[in-house]
Amino acid sequence: MSIEDIKRRITAIEAEVDLGDHEKAHSLEDKLRADFIAYVAKDGASDALINIKAGMVLTTDKIEFARWCA
C-alpha cells in the first residue's frame, strides 16, 4: 500500500463527507483500515515507511462525520 494510495483513499472519504454521505464515508474509512491491517500483516515488516503510513490512516479520525454503529 503506497502513500499515494492512502492519500487517494482519504480524499475519497473527505469527498463523501462533503457530499453528505456519512454512511459511505464510514464504510470507506473501515475498508481503508481493514486493508491497511492486511497490508501490515503481509508486507509491513519490510516497509520502511510503515509508521508514516499508519499515521496517515489514523488521520481519518480527525475528519468530522457521523459514524453509526449497530
Residue 56 is predicted with a pLDDT of 98
Q: What nine digits make up the cell of 55? A: 499515521
pLDDT for residue 9: 98
> How far is the C-alpha of 25 from the C-alpha of 30, rounded, in Å?
9
User: Which residues of the chain, if any, have pLDDT below 50?
Assistant: none
What pLDDT was estimated at residue 35? 98
In the prediction, which pLDDT does 70 show?
A: 64
Report which residue type is found at 37.
Answer: I
Give the residue among 54, 47, 44, 35 at the shortest CA–CA distance from 27: 35
Helix axes 50-58, 22-43, angle to 10 degrees: 160
